């Protein structure tokens, strides 16, 4: 599935977005790539995700993944 929102492809990226593609990988998930027109929002989204999934929490990593999977399934998210 491809994003329906206009995105900047890795080979078209310039400046900060090009740097983020290099840092995060060119096979970036669409849920992140939709921010490619606004690299600052991509950085914020990714920092938020990393905090939730890897930051201090009473939940284990496995529990966090199970919650994310259940929410995605409930929302019929193909991601």
Instruction: Please tell me whether the overall predicted TM-score, pTM, comes out greater than 0.85 for this model.
Output: no
- Residues 46, 24 contacting (CB under 8 angstroms): yes
Distance CA 32, CA 28 (A): 7
**For residue 16, what pLDDT is reported?**
96
pLDDT digits (tens, 9 = 90+) for 19-67: 999 999 888 888 899 999 999 999 999 999 999 999 999 999 999 999 9
Q: 75: which DSSP letter? A: T
Q: Rounded distance, CA 32 to CA 39, Å?
A: 10
In this predicted structure, what is the pLDDT of residue 29?
84
Neighbouring CB atoms inside 10 A of 53's CB total: 13
What per-residue confidence (pLDDT) applies to 52?
Answer: 93
Domain boundaries, given as residue ranges, for the chain: 10-74
pLDDT at 75 exceeding the cut of 60: yes
Q: Which of 28, 30, 32 is nearest to 2 (CA)?
A: 30
């Amino acid at each position: 599935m491809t994003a329906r929102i206009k995105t900047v492809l890795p080979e078209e990226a310039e400046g900060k977005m090009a740097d983020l593609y290099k840092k995060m990988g060119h096979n970036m998930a669409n849920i992140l790539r939709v921010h490619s027109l606004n690299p600052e929002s991509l950085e914020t989204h990714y920092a938020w995700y990393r905090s939730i999934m890897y930051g201090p929490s009473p939940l284990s990593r496995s529990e966090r993944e199970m919650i994310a999977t259940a929410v995605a399934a409930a929302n019929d998210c193909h991601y």
